[in-house]
Structure 1
Amino acid sequence: MINRYDPLTVDLTEADRPASTAPVRSVSLYADGGQKHGVWEAEPGVHREYQGQETVVILTGRATVEGSSGITVDVGPGDLVIVDPGEKTTWTVHEKIRKVFIVNQ
């Protein structure tokens, strides 16, 4: 099967994120065997307790991503971010952000 999505316009639903200080929306487009692919969007604020191996491409917006290892990176449109297994991240969103993600749990 082949599916095509526009990650900038795909419908998202509000996510229950008690560790976030601002609204978060997402959609899972594929899930199988501990791997999930989808789109995530967050309003400016702090979004904590994201964990696991993750690969993301930033579509819009800007954020600072801080890992539990102490590494901090600033990200924006077009950036590819790879988070190692076991790393916990905090996303401080400066401008509403939208990203495509692949998470391995």
Structure 2
Amino acid sequence: MTTTELAADRLLVQDASAAPVEHAPVDAADVLGGRPTMGALPLADDAGVELGIWEITSGVVTDVEVDEVFVVLSGRGRVEFEDGSSIALAAGTVARLRAGDRTHWIVYETLRKIYVLLPDHEEATS
């Protein structure tokens, strides 16, 4: 295998900020405001760890999270947690969500992030 082929095998996406992500309307039961759409572009899945790009347009949605680490690439918003805490979201924000977190995502400007879904800790230790 040539070095060019080796590099191509490692490259997941050339420009994560511009990769096309197909959107669909958010389930109406999860929308608290606006008419947001969202989509994801999975890039890799290995040993129960998924890596990808996720994007959501402006609006307010509710969610129950899985174990995840993410880096915001673009956009602005806020994620609010059931305990009253919140995290401001903007390009460069790195955050951790825990399985079972109940959240409200308030998106002011289309938000795009790189996500890493972590394996279920209970399954990993079983």
Give the TM-score, by structure 2 length. Answer: 0.72
Aligned-pair CA distance for 1:37: 0.9
1:13 aligns with 2:18: no
Which structure 2 residue ranges, 5 or more long, are not aligned? Answer: 1-8, 121-126
Structure 1 segment 21-100 matched on structure 2, within 5 A: 21-100=35-114
Aligned-pair RMSD on alpha carbons? 1.9
Considering fraction of residues, name the structure with more helix: 2
Consecutive unaligned residues of structure 1, counting only runs of 5 or more, are none
TM-superposed CA distance for 1:64, in Å, is: 0.8
CA contact (8 A) 1:51 1:89 kept: yes
2:10 corresponds in structure 1 to 2
Secondary structure at the residue paired with 1:7?
coil
Q: Which has the larger radius of gyration?
A: 2
Query: 2:3 maps to which residue?
Result: none
Structure 1's consecutive aligned runs of 4 or more residues displaced over 4 angstroms after TM superposition are: none
> What is the CA distance between 1:4 and its match in structure 2?
3.4
Are the equivalent residues in 1 in contact too, given 2:12–2:44 (CA < 8 A)? no
More strand by share: 1
Give identity over the alignment, percent: 25
Summarize deviations over 1:19-50 as a string: whole Å, max 9, x none.
24411122111123432111111111012214
Count of aligned pairs: 105
| Residues 15, 26 of structure 1: 8 Å contact kept | no
TM-score for both structures, normalised by structure 1: 0.85
CA distance, structure 1, for counterparts of residue 104 and residue 47 of structure 2? 25
